[in-house]
Amino acid sequence: MNEIESSRIYPCGGIGASQIGALWPVPCNQWITRADVYFSCLGLSKPKTPAIQMQRGILMEPYLRGAFELKSGKTLSMVKAPLARHKDYPFILCHPDGWLADKSAGLELKRVERNDGQWGEEAEQIPQSYWLQCQHSMIVTGCKSWWFYAEIPRGGEREAWLDIRCVEFQAEAKVQAAIVDVCRKAWQEIGELHRLIQSGGKDKDLAMEQLAEMAKSDSEKLAHAAKIIYPYTPKHIAPAPADMLRDLREFQQQKQYENAAKENIEQLKAKLLIQMGQKGLQQVSFEGGKLARSKDGALRFTEGKE
């Protein structure tokens, strides 16, 4: 049986872009595991009602598409993007969230409800699973780049804001070759499990045992897996040149002084606040300037004589 024929046997018909992170050598999809992907491909997954977060995400897609156009200056195609299959490996699938009007690149949209620490400070630092999803989609469609747009909550009470991530990722040949290899091996395993299940009897029992062991192994891996953001490999750190060492050491020393000074200032502010409160003073002056205490307890220092 060839790969094209086998891709039509199983209910889902292949491995989607959102699933590649679960199959990666170091699992990085926090929502599904390898076992989940295999169960889905084999038609063994029980129907689930989409989580409320997923339902809200679907409802937010028109807004996110408009927000992407506003941020990027790009125009999206009005035609809904259909499910796409790789021309040579039809079991490798993707379902783009959108296409640029000129069809030069696709789009992945994410609505993030909770910042779980997987988002870095730079525009390209996103959860590895999402970056792999973009690379997977490029493999299927043959595009050389893929846009990613997300809005991530930042801050806390009284300081909350949305951190916008709008970046165009370029195709990475080595990573894409690894994705194809991962998908081919997974699809081969799924095909063997399908054969065992269809055989019934002890063969089916063996297949179910393998799937159960896989689910257990996935849980252990995810429990210990580090949260990884893209770029997923550490950038090379060069040793400091000799002519920089003096300034670097001076910088380190000054930072230590700065931290110590901040700690001392906070201690002094607390002490002065207590003293002014005990004496019923709102403002005091001395040869160096003026110190005022506001109603909420904050101190304001004005340097210089009155």
Q: CA 133 to CA 44: how far, in whole Å?
A: 24
d(CA 76, CA 97): 10
Question: In this predicted structure, what is the pLDDT of residue 232?
Answer: 45
- Second-level CATH architecture of 3-224: Alpha-Beta Complex (3.90)
Q: Is the pLDDT of residue 33 over 80?
A: yes
Q: Give the CB-side neighbour count of residue 231, counting CA atoms within 13 A.
A: 6
Taking the C-alpha atoms of residue 177 and residue 180, their distance in angstroms, rounded to an integer, is: 5
pLDDT band at 9 (very low <50, low <70, confident <90, very high): very low
Q: Tens digit of pLDDT for each residue in 40-65?
A: 888 887 777 777 777 887 888 999 99
Predicted confidence at residue 54, as pLDDT, reads: 76
Strand partners, 163: 152
Give the DSSP H/E element, type plus range, for residue 162. Answer: strand 161-170
Please tell me the distance from the alpha carbon of residue 68 to that of residue 165, in angstroms, as a whole number.
Answer: 10
pLDDT for the residue 85: 93
Share of the chain above pLDDT 90, in %: 40
Q: Is the pLDDT of residue 79 over 90?
A: no
Per the prediction, the chain carries an average pLDDT of: 83
Alpha helix positions (H), the chain: 3-6, 20-23, 34-41, 52-72, 128-141, 173-199, 201-224, 242-279
Query: Given a cut of 70, is residue 21 above it in pLDDT?
Result: yes
Query: Whole-structure pTM over 0.75, yes or no?
Result: no
Task: Report the C-alpha gap between 74 and 94 in whole angstroms.
Answer: 22
Q: Is the pLDDT of residue 152 over 60?
A: yes
What are the residues whose beta carbons fall under 8 Å from the beta carbon of 277, sequence distance 6 or more? 293
Checking if the pLDDT of 187 tops 90, the result is: yes
Rg (alpha carbons) of the chain, rounded to whole number:
28
| Sequence spans of domains, the chain | 3-224, 245-303
Q: Which of 59-73, 88-102, 146-160, 204-218 has the lowest mean pLDDT?
A: 146-160
How far apart CA 127 and CA 120 sit, in angstroms, is 8
**Contact (CB, 8 A) for 86 and 127:** no
Tens digit of each residue's pLDDT (9 = 90 or more) over 253-270? 887 788 778 777 877 887
Tell me what pLDDT residue 90 has.
92
- pLDDT category at 297 given cuts 50, 70, 90 is low
pLDDT surpasses 80 at 188: yes
